[in-house]
Amino acid sequence: MPSQVTPRVRIRRTAITVAAVIVGLIVIGRITRILVDWMWFASIGYARVFWTVLDARVLLFAAVFVVSTATIALSGLLAHRHARRFDPSSATLEIVDERTGRVMPRIGWRWAIAGAAALLGLLLAAFEASNWDLALRYLHQVPFGERDPIFGYDIGFYVFSLPVYVAFKNWLLRVLFCSAIVAGVIYGVRGDIAVEQPPRGLSRAAAMHGSALLALFFAVKAGSYWLDRFLLLYDDNGVVVGAGYTDIHVGLPVLWLLMGLAAAASIASWANMRLRSYRIAIASALLVFGGSFVFAAIYPALYQRFYVKPSELRLETPYIKHNIALTRQAYALTRITARPFAAEQGLNLAELQANRATIDNIRLWDVQPLMDTYAQLQEIRTYYRFLSVDIDRYALDAGYRQVMLSARELETSMLPANAQTWVNLHLLFTHGNGVVMSPVTEKSAEGLPSFYLQDIPPVANGGPAVREPRLYFGQGEQDYVIVQGSVPEFDFPHGKENMYAAYSGRDGVGIGSSARRFLFAWQFADPNILLTSYITDRSRILFHRNILDRVRTIAPFLSFDHDPYIVVSGGRLFWILDAYTVSRWYPYSQPATGDGTNYIRNAVKVIVDAYNGTVDFYVSDPADPILRTWERIFPGLFKPLDTMPPDLRQHIRYPEDLFLIQAQLYRTYHMEAPEVFYNREDLWQFPREPGGIDAGNAQGARMAPYYMIMRLPGEARAEFVLLLPMVPSQRENMIAWLAARCDPPEYGKLIVYTFPKDKLVYGPFQIEARIQQNTEISQQISLWNQMGSRVIRGHLVVVPIENSILYVSPLYLRAASGQLPELKRVIAAYGDRVVMQETLAQALAALFEQTSPAAARPPGTADERAREALAHYNRALERLKAGDWSGFGSELDALRPLLESLGAGRPEHR
């Protein structure tokens, strides 16, 4: 008679089948992901990087899995061997068939233990495999050449070795915990652990097993206390970041004591395997944890409060010195050169003329108004987007010019809903087109930006020529596309027609074969890849097209700046990204970010070809030990900076994220005297700047760093710098300004210009207050706001010229119903004077009309001066038509005194 399958057995079989299918899908998904990644890395020339990372992950995973599983299984099997049994003749977990009453073996104990151990081992291995970078850095570490001041270890021990030791200790504790859980479950099921029914307690086997695990735990705990000695160098008592007086004189001896207590508890627990007394286990735990609470928590706190606090400065001085010195090293603050800045008030028109390169590059266009203007004038079609505005400099026919530019990227989500078909999204609309470039200072008669590059295809009007404008790789949400199919790619709109092109770049993974189409259809969960007839034998698939995603996939061990920027070089478009090596393990260093990072270097410059997708990593800080370690791990990945094409090298700049972190730390760590540091006597702050007259933000946000072309005091030529003013804490007057030089060969040098402390120099917030209090300016703004327009105040720019400080701020008008901001006025301030004029040249002329000595009337008769004025006027018109705004401003400057002299000689009418 055929046996009948019970519902319980049927459910069990179904569950096993479902679990097997799920596991199979997970395994297939991992295999396909690895295959796709390998093909992608190979296609871009970084297969060796892929295999290095994969090998490290697999080896670490396998080692942790084998050891973890074996340890947990051994604990479980020992428990199974020595625990009581339900039935001495049975070694299986059993169930009873409800219908027949027959006992049916379900699974053997050993198989159950092995399965549980394997599952826990998989979880532990999957968690630890993410530490592959720690393992590689430990094995290939490069010494820093600097030692910590407490233990005398090389800094490399803390950055490379200590994280591995801490991770290893944590893994041991997890393995012991899992081993205890498995053993505890077995003893509990077998009745060796009695809690509710007498006789309560543990069986002989359970007590021995528990004592052994407890002994191992206390041994690991002793090692943990040994590691905690080094972790003292990351402590923070509010005065010192790093080990302070209490840490060294109390915390360190206490850790040695706790080490001894944990070792004694471990020995006692080993002995308790024979004695099997719960008193010994309880006493060992109380000895270690009670001792830790009393000696590591209460005693140091009392010592700090009643002994150190009353004499804190005297006792903490040596440790404050350590904190200052190592923080300055960790953030390269030691590279900052301090220079005096006289902050004089003798600036005049002649000095402005001598600093024409600075004046001609004062930025009048803020990012958001310019973005809005670009969107209205140059997006051309709804599916194009300008995602960011970048600031750079170019050597153009008009001279060395600071410009703002933005890439016109494709945003397929902006296609009409009925046009968002699979063919359009992945085969037809594949790339953006061109860039827009405009000078930072110039504007048209209507208050709109002048364009060096504009339209599709890009038209150069004084800017660099662009011969390959297509952007297949950018900053947007870039999905995969398939090129060289049987469908032509949309290139750009041309009147009422569309132009088409075919990708001929280097990027892409071949997708012509059926096997590869199936592989990518599975990986991207898109069956259309397999079903479409538009793919040919020559077709390739492009993915990882977002540039940050692309470089992070290749080098996940680097951190990247938030602001990649587009560069036109040799008629092609490139993205430049700044990459950082960071660590959270630099001793005695003040953390600067929320994730605890306390060491950073801008060690790498990354170039991504916007058309080909090629990625090149160039070493910008060859002395960085972390980067040198990665060079050992990935030989050939990084290239020397001098091998970067010279034209691209002219566009590297000091990264804003790094500069901001350094400036944030330098506010405090420019104070190198421990007494001054302790009292915060000379603490600096970033200036406040109101959110604008229309924003109603009285308190204001903190000023951000900004790029500008200027001639630094004492230097022969103008250069591209990143600049940020500083003010004293709780005050608004300027005390210093910090500059990072961006142009070779001075790239990377930081200078802080400090003001005399006996002079009052208005800070940005004070200048903003003077602007808002100016009657003429406030009345004009109120009038505009009442006439259906909206006034937008631009950011205030601090412009150091010679040994003086000039302030410039743009003012924009936007129609109440419009989206097109227009640059209508320029506000300039110097000393106690504030003016507002239509152009920067007019504002500067008006500003220095009274601050300069009274000029003598130009020589010659009135007729001669009139003819000369007419000549300047005609030349000004010629310069304007030619787009030479610098020449136009110069002619206006020369015209003004002639007109004033003619007006002064005119008889007064009564």
Claim to verify: residue 672 and residue 612 sit in the same structural domain:
no
pLDDT band at 893 (very low <50, low <70, confident <90, very high): low
Q: What pLDDT, in 10s, does the model give residues 752-809?
A: 999 998 889 999 999 999 998 999 999 998 888 887 788 999 999 999 999 999 999 9
**How much is the pLDDT for 527?**
95
Domain that residue 559 falls in: 546-652
Choose the final residue of a domain: 196, 226, 255: 196
| HSE value, Cβ hemisphere, 13 Å, CA-based, for 802 | 14
In a domain? residue 491: no
One-letter amino acid for residue 892 of the chain:
L
535 is a domain residue: no
Strand partners, 1: none
Does pLDDT of 865 surpass 80?
Answer: no
Residue 555: is it exposed, middle or buried by C-beta count within 10 angstroms (0-12/13-18/19+)?
buried
| DSSP class of 642 | G
Among the candidates 196, 223, 247, a domain finishes at 196
**What's the pLDDT at 88?**
43
User: According to the model, what pLDDT value does residue 95 have?
Assistant: 45
784 and 879 both lie in a single domain: no
48 and 182 assigned to the same domain: yes
Question: Is 886's pLDDT higher than 80?
Answer: no
CA dihedral 616, 464, 438, 767 (to 10 degrees): 70
Residue 485 lies in a domain: no
Percent of all residues in the chain with a pLDDT value above 70, rounded to a whole number: 89
The tokens of 669 are what? 């760590």
Q: Which residues pair with 815 in a beta bridge?
A: 789
Same domain flag for 103 and 137:
yes
pLDDT band at 883 (very low <50, low <70, confident <90, very high): low
pLDDT(272) > 60: yes
* 868 and 737 together in one domain: no
Region of 588 please: left (phi>0), alpha (psi -120 to 50) or beta.
left
The per-residue pLDDT for 14 is: 78
Confidence at 696, pLDDT banded by 50, 70, 90 = very low
Q: Are strands 193-194 and 201-202 parallel, antiparallel or unpaired?
A: antiparallel
Considering the domain architecture, whether residues 107 and 166 belong to the same structural domain is answered as yes
Same domain, 644 and 695: no
Strand-pair partners of 439: 403
Answer left, alpha or beta for residue 508, where phi above 0 means left and psi between -120 and 50 means alpha: left
Which of 809, 824, 851 terminates a domain? The answer is 851
pLDDT for 881 equals 59
Task: State the average pLDDT for the chain.
Answer: 89
Single out the residue of 622, 602, 632, 752 nearest to residue 684, CA to CA. Answer: 752
Domain-embedded: residue 141:
yes
How high is the pLDDT of residue 597?
96
Q: Cβ–Cβ contacts within 10 Å for residue 78, how many?
A: 18
Cβ-proximal residues to 205 (8 Å cutoff; 6+ apart), any chain: 79, 82, 83, 187, 192
Number of other CB atoms surrounding residue 569 within 10 Å:
19
Whether 534 is in a domain gets the answer no
Contact at 8 Å (CB) between 83 and 208? Answer: no
Per DSSP, the residues of 500-517 read EE---SS--EE--SHHHH
Q: How far is CA 231 from CA 166, 223, 319, 329, in A?
A: 10, 13, 15, 19
HSE (side-chain half, CA atoms, 13 Å) at 807: 27
Residue at 880 is within a domain: yes
The overall pTM is greater than 0.75: yes
Tell which wins on pLDDT, 271 or 111.
271
Average pLDDT of the segment spanning 42-59? 97
What is the reported pLDDT for 797? Answer: 94
Buried b (16+ CB within 10 A) or exposed e, 754-770: bbeeeeebbbbbbbbeb
Q: Give per-residue burial for 183-196: e unless 16+ CB within 10 Å, then b.
A: bbbbbeebebbeee
Over residues 163-179, the mean pLDDT reads 98
CB of 449 closer than 8 Å to CB of 370: yes
Q: Print burial letters for 492-509: b (CB count within 10 Å at least 16), e (below 16).
A: beeeeeeeeeebebebbb
Q: Do 761 and 690 share a structural domain? A: yes
Q: For the segment 656-675, what is each residue's pLDDT rounded down to a tens digit? A: 999 999 999 999 999 999 99
Percent of the chain with pLDDT over 90: 74
Higher local confidence (pLDDT), 900 or 796: 796
Decide if 603 contacts 579 (C-beta within 8 A): yes
pLDDT band at 495 (very low <50, low <70, confident <90, very high): confident
- Whole-number pLDDT of residue 642: 95
- 864 and 722 share a domain? no
What's the average model confidence in pLDDT over 79-93? 63
- Copy the structure tokens of residue 782: 């109120």
The pLDDT, as a whole number, for residue 849 is 74
CA R_g for the chain: 36
User: How many domains does the chain contain in total?
Assistant: 6
Q: Are 389 and 374 in contact (CB under 8 A)?
A: yes
Measured distance CA(544)–CA(686) in Å, rounded: 38
Residue-level pLDDT at 87:
47
* Residue 6, in any domain of the structure: no
Q: Residue 700: its pLDDT value, please?
A: 61
pLDDT of residue 855: 39
Structure tokens at 255: 């850790």
Which tokens is 206 given?
Answer: 């359970």
Measured distance CA(72)–CA(184) in Å, rounded: 12
Question: Is residue 496 assigned to a domain?
Answer: no
Report d(CA 373, CA 824) in Å as an integer.
14
In order, the DSSP letters of 839-862 are SHHHHHHHHHHHHSPPPPPPSS-H
Residues 813 and 668 in one domain: yes
pLDDT tens-digit readout, 309-354: 999 999 999 999 999 999 999 999 999 999 999 998 888 888 888 8
Amino acid at 355: N
Residue 283 C-beta-side C-alpha neighbours within 13 Å = 11
Examine the domain organization and report whether 356 and 370 are in the same domain. Answer: no
Same domain flag for 689 and 831: yes
| Residue recorded with tokens 């440790």 | 319
Residue 698: pLDDT above 60? Answer: no
